[in-house]
Amino acid sequence: MSRKDACDIYCYNEEKVEYIQGKLSNHDLAGVSKLFKVIGDERRTQILYALSLEKELCVCDIANSIGTSVATASHHLRTLHKQGIVDYRKEGKLAFYFLKEIQVKQLIHILLFPAEKENAHV
């Protein structure tokens, strides 16, 4: 039985496959996959976007910005912190969170504004 979305015969380009296998083994794709899994939650993506707009935000600001409780925001921030995506600093009784890596900010903006990024390189 032939399917239109698959090859009718099995063959492959050995040169291309070896090239790709070499590239796959040279990168931390498990880490990238873990990142996408973590940001796959809408609330966490909202938090990351909010943090991409400001240098840092306290938990209360984040909670109010995304329309959730401080407890819920804190839960998601702990998840993001455990994954090494955000960090925080304490100032008295306040906890201020910030993005650890500029790449996360860039990724969020590329995904949200793909047309702007395409036009910026033209």
| CA-closest candidate to residue 81, choices 68, 95, 61 | 95
Please give the pLDDT value at position 27. 85
Residues 70-111 have pLDDT tens digits of: 999 999 999 999 999 999 999 999 999 999 988 889 988 898
pTM above 0.85, yes or no: no
Answer yes or no: are the C-beta atoms of 59 and 97 closer than 8 Å.
Answer: yes
Answer left, alpha or beta for residue 84, where phi above 0 means left and psi between -120 and 50 means alpha: left
Name the residue ranges covered by the structural domains of the chain.
43-120
CATH of domain 43-120: 1.10.10.10
Residues 47-60 have pLDDT tens digits of: 999 999 999 999 99
